[in-house]
């Protein structure tokens, strides 16, 4: 017997607009492709300011840790036309992402605890 639970809305979360791209994608595990499709990230291998990303649909590519890159902007602005069917991004992940906001003055910069969020 399945228990009926009311659909839980994901809590709103706030990140800084200037949040580091690598920290952000490591957290949300989503990648907006140039074609406007949102892919699920399977692995991120960071080396310095470069990282190799593998998506769940098994595409591998290198990215640079830039807050001003196309992908960083698209992620912040939630610009995507659709979601990659092969990646099977779960609904809860998309719901979480749509409840994520990027603010200039407020939110986590995703820094380690001994670092400060205040700028
Ligand atoms: Zn994909």
Please report which residue ranges of the chain form alpha helices under DSSP H.
21-28, 70-77, 91-98
What spacing in Å lies between the alpha carbon of 85 and ligand 1's midpoint? 7
pTM of the predicted protein model: 0.85
Q: What is residue 119's predicted lDDT score, i.e. its pLDDT?
A: 46
Each residue's pLDDT tens digit, 69-109:
999 999 999 999 999 999 999 999 999 999 999 999 889 99
Mention every residue, 6+ apart, whose C-beta is less than 8 A from residue 66: 21, 49, 72
Mention every residue, 6+ apart, whose C-beta is less than 8 A from residue 113: none
Q: For residue 100, which phi and psi values (nearest 5 degrees)? A: -100, 130
Residue list, CB under 5 A from ion ligand 1: 39, 55, 57, 84, 86-87
What spacing in Å lies between the alpha carbon of 96 and ligand 1's midpoint? 18
Spatial separation of the C-alpha atoms in residues 54 and 109, rounded to whole Å: 24
Each residue's pLDDT tens digit, 27-50:
999 999 999 999 999 999 999 999
What spacing in Å lies between the alpha carbon of 59 and ligand 1's midpoint? 7
């Amino acid at each position: 017997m399945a228990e009926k639970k009311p659909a839980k809305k994901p809590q709103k979360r706030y990140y800084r607009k200037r949040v580091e791209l690598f920290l952000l994608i490591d957290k949300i595990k989503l990648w907006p492709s140039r074609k406007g499709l949102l892919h699920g990230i399977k692995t991120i291998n960071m080396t310095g300011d470069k990282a190799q990303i593998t998506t769940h649909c098994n595409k591998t590519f290198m990215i640079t840790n830039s807050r001003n890159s196309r992908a960083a902007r698209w992620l912040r602005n939630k610009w995507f036309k659709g979601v990659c069917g092969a990646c099977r991004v779960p609904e809860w992940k998309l719901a979480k992402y749509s409840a994520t906001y990027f603010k200039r003055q407020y939110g986590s910069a995703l820094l380690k605890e001994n670092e400060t969020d205040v700028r």
